[in-house]
Amino acid sequence: MAQATPVNPVVKPYGDEAYLAVREFFRYDSTLPLQARVVSGEDRGSYTLEKFVFTSSGRSRVPGLLAFPKGDRKKFPCMILIHSGTGKKEDWWSDQGWVRGQAFVAKLLQAGYAVVAIDAEGHGERPASVDFVPLTGMAYESKETYGITRLLVQTTIDHLRLVDYLRSKP
């Protein structure tokens, strides 16, 4: 009888030394002030939607949207939603376009989750960070490998700062 292959084998793409080297790209100073503020709040019937902004590493300002169900609870488990490609945070609150995220967000809110999304580096309200170069042009036309790598690293750091922001909220 043939031996079954494990369903989820542990895959280690590179060794410890390479991992430690790559990890350095994602280090940031978590003691930098977030300088966070809620820009606006909106009653959406069964939930509240807040637009906020905080400072990431490199002093860039990161805008985001946080929705949480109405009710007596003070704390909610929170799902971080990450847009793809050339998307933006608002895609999660829209039924237009290919994402059509509103239905997904509505189900999460109904289940008692808060949801949050930020604009990734160079996306949505942050085009200045890539000198207003369209991302499709950067990726496919000029093939700016360094620019794309920088964008992905900064976006990862921005999401780590988002977790810092969420932890700072009462």
pTM for the full predicted model: 0.81
Write the CB contacts of 123 (distance below 8 Å, at least 6 apart in sequence).
83, 86, 87, 88, 135
Structure tokens at 159: 């999401």
**Tens digit of each residue's pLDDT, the chain (170 residues):** 555 555 556 666 778 888 888 888 889 998 999 999 999 999 999 999 999 999 998 778 999 999 999 987 788 999 999 987 778 899 899 887 666 788 999 999 999 999 999 998 888 888 665 555 555 555 555 556 666 778 888 899 999 999 999 999 87
Nearest in space to 151 (alpha carbons), one of 168, 162, 138: 138
